[in-house]
Amino acid sequence: MIGMLFIGIGAGFVLIGTVGILRFRDLYSRLQASGVSDNAGVGLILIGLIVRGGFEPIDLTLGFLLLLLVITNPIVTHAIAKSAFVKRHTGGKE
């Protein structure tokens, strides 16, 4: 039951992030919406899967995937933002 709650809340975060990507106009706002909500959403989904699975050996793989996500998602978001800043991306038509 608690696992399904985590999965539902995580899916809600991912949905909010998707709406933010579609709704916001500039690149930096889209990165904020996708970076924060997707990291939290997918993290909660993975935690929900671990709790729902009952802590079996396969959950070590899910835990490793969660750790990898927590480490790489902020790095990738920062790299995209820095690349856009260096190239002076304005978000308009070029």
DSSP string, 22-55: HH--SHHHHHHHHHHHHHHHHHHHHHHHHHHHTS
pLDDT digits (tens, 9 = 90+) for 2-23: 999 999 999 999 999 999 999 9
Structure-derived torsion over alpha carbons of residues 20, 22, 27, 30, reported in degrees to the nearest 10 = 20
Domain ranges in the chain are 2-86
Claim: this prediction has a pTM higher than 0.85:
no
Residues comprising the chain, all counted: 94
The pLDDT value given to residue 8:
96
Q: Are 7 and 45 within 8 A, CB to CB?
A: yes
